[in-house]
Amino acid sequence: MKILITGINGFVGSNFTEKWRESHTLYGIDIRQPKVKGVVQTYSWDELQDVPKVDAIVHLAGKAHDTKNESLAQDYFDINVGLTKKIFEYFLQSDAKTFVFFSSVKAAKDSTEGVVLKEDVVPEPIGPYGESKIKAEEYLFRKLPEVDSLNKKLFIVRPCMIHGPGNKGNLNLLYNVVSKGVPWPLGSYENRRSFCSIDNIAYVVEQLIVKENIENGIYHVCDDEALSTNELIALIAQSVNKSPRIWKLPKGLMNTFAAVGGALRLPLTKERLQKLTENYVVSNEKIKKALNIDHMPVSAEEGLTKTLKSFQDK
Ligand SMILES: NC(=O)c1ccc[n+]([C@@H]2O[C@H](COP(=O)([O-])OP(=O)(O)OC[C@H]3O[C@@H](n4cnc5c(N)ncnc54)[C@H](OP(=O)(O)O)[C@@H]3O)[C@@H](O)[C@H]2O)c1
């Protein structure tokens, strides 16, 4: 297959390149156009008319979470909706058959306390990231009749937190803390979270492109098992050959500590405690049914162990 990937030099794009370059012909679109092994050519967004004919477009380019909190909300809409419109208009008039848009589970819900997140949930995103992704999804949905009439395919994938080599974000922070032997003080919270291994999302997207007869629509993508943060801490400790140091301090004490944390500028605030201990469980049943598989290629534990090993190899 000939595949055009936008945002090809980002975290997900670099991993897809690595995985697909042997079996597919890859082209990119990105802000920067470095020479990358396995990519025939990367174009700028102003050079769309120069891109050769492709079979599929995977639209990854977008603005994700801003850990430094420096972005304007409008930037998310300009980038996540604006670029989607631009590349999708190109797709409609091109020869490409399949369009895969990378949305996020955050387009559906910011938190999933007590429920397993499925595709039929009424979206209630919170914050400009999720809100801009749902706006882009809505735009694409309005185009479905045109997609059908042109005999093309449109898939919206909503992955949960993707991890793999070159990962940046909270998993790296946790890894740095645990590998230094710092105890984890939130052991009394037994939350469960879904993750998405890069191997699993790469497999799913490749199947959406190469397989015939998969229905257009939204698909949540995650590993088969949800893990607790305590299990994650144990996996990180195991990956650096240390015993996990999990302290089960009383929840009441940690809640009080977090409540004053913001005012005293401590590392643990109410919001951070909530993020670290919340449940976020996603269902991948719909995509497995569509692909006719019982299990994702790698389990949550296998995938995370691979990612953690890549941190050491860096
Ligand atoms: N990683 C996850 O856990 C996760 C989970 C769910 C959904 N997603 C979605 O998956 C997609 C890929 O994620 P990722 O982790 O690979 O993100 P990433 O590493 O930040 O890569 C994003 C790509 O988009 C490009 N980009 C950013 N702003 C742009 C702009 N204004 N104009 C043109 N290109 C721009 C980036 O270019 P520069 O590098 O030059 O800025 C980069 O190539 C995103 O749409 C994200 O929302 C990711």
What is this structure's pTM?
0.96
102 lines ligand 1 (CB under 6 A): yes
How do the pLDDT tens digits run along the chain, 314 residues long?
Answer: 999 999 999 999 999 999 999 999 999 999 999 999 999 999 999 999 999 999 999 999 999 876 556 678 999 999 999 999 999 999 999 999 999 999 999 999 998 888 999 999 999 999 999 999 999 999 999 999 999 999 999 999 999 999 999 988 889 988 998 999 999 999 999 899 999 999 999 999 999 999 999 999 999 999 999 999 999 999 999 999 999 999 999 999 999 988 887 777 777 888 888 888 899 999 999 999 999 999 999 999 999 999 999 998 76
Q: Whose CA is nearest to atom 31 of ligand 1?
A: 79
Ligand 1 neighbourhood includes 159 CB (under 6 angstroms): yes
Q: Is 104's C-beta closer than 6 angstroms to any atom of ligand 1?
A: yes
Quote the CA–CA distance of 117 and 101 in Å, as a whole number: 19
Question: Is the CB of 221 inside a 6 Å radius of any atom of ligand 1?
Answer: no
How far apart are alpha carbons 127 and 77 in whole angstroms? 11
Rounded CA separation 53/66 (Å): 34
Q: Phi and psi for 250 in degrees, rounded to 5?
A: -60, 140
**Contact of 273 with 229, CB cutoff 8 Å:** no
Domain formed by 2-164+193-222+282-288, architecture = 3-Layer(aba) Sandwich (3.40)
Tell me if 206 CB under 6 Å of ligand 1.
no
| DSSP states of the chain | -EEEEETTTSHHHHHHHHHHTTTSEEEEE-SS----TTEEEEE-GGGGGGPPP-SEEEE-------TT--S-HHHHHHHHTHHHHHHHHHHHHSS--EEEEE--GGGTBS--TTSEE-TTSPPB--SHHHHHHHHHHHHHHHTHHHHHHTT-EEEEEEE-SEE-TT--SHHHHHHHHHHTT--BTBTT----B--EEHHHHHHHHHHHHH-S-PPSEEEEE--SS-B-HHHHHHHHHHHTT----B-B--HHHHHHHHHHHTTTT-S--HHHHHHHH--BEE--HHHHHHHT-SS-SS-HHHHHHHHHHHHHH-
Beta-carbon contacts of 33 under 8 Å, excluding residues fewer than 6 positions away, are 41, 42, 43, 44
User: Can you tell me which atom of ligand 1 is nearest the CA of 64?
Assistant: 47
Q: Which residues are paired to 102 by β-bridges?
A: 157
Give just the sign of the alpha carbon dihedral 173, 177, 178, 184.
negative
Choose which residue among 63, 71, 155, 170 to substitute to test ligand 1 binding: the one with the highest number of ligand atoms within 8 A of its C-beta. Answer: 63
If we measure between CA atoms, which residue out of 120, 148, 301 comes closest to residue 220? 120
Rounded distance from Cα 62 to ligand 1 centre (Å): 4
Q: Is 98 in the pocket of ligand 1 (CB under 6 A)?
A: no
Q: Is 32 in the pocket of ligand 1 (CB under 6 A)?
A: yes
Cα–Cα distances in Å, from 25 out to 5, 18, 76, 269? 11, 12, 30, 47
In the chain, where the domains are located = 2-164+193-222+282-288
How far apart, in whole angstroms, are the C-alpha atoms of residue 167 and residue 14?
A: 11
Euclidean distance between CA atoms 122 and 143, whole angstroms: 20
Dist CA 216 CA 144 (whole Å):
9
- Probe ligand 1: pick from 8, 19, 31, 205, max atoms within 8 Å of CB? 31
* 10 C-alpha to ligand 1 centroid (Å): 6
Q: Is 61 in the pocket of ligand 1 (CB under 6 A)?
A: yes
Amino acid (one-letter) located at 284: N
Mutate to test the pocket of ligand 1, among 8, 12, 160, 219 (most ligand atoms within 8 A of CB): 12
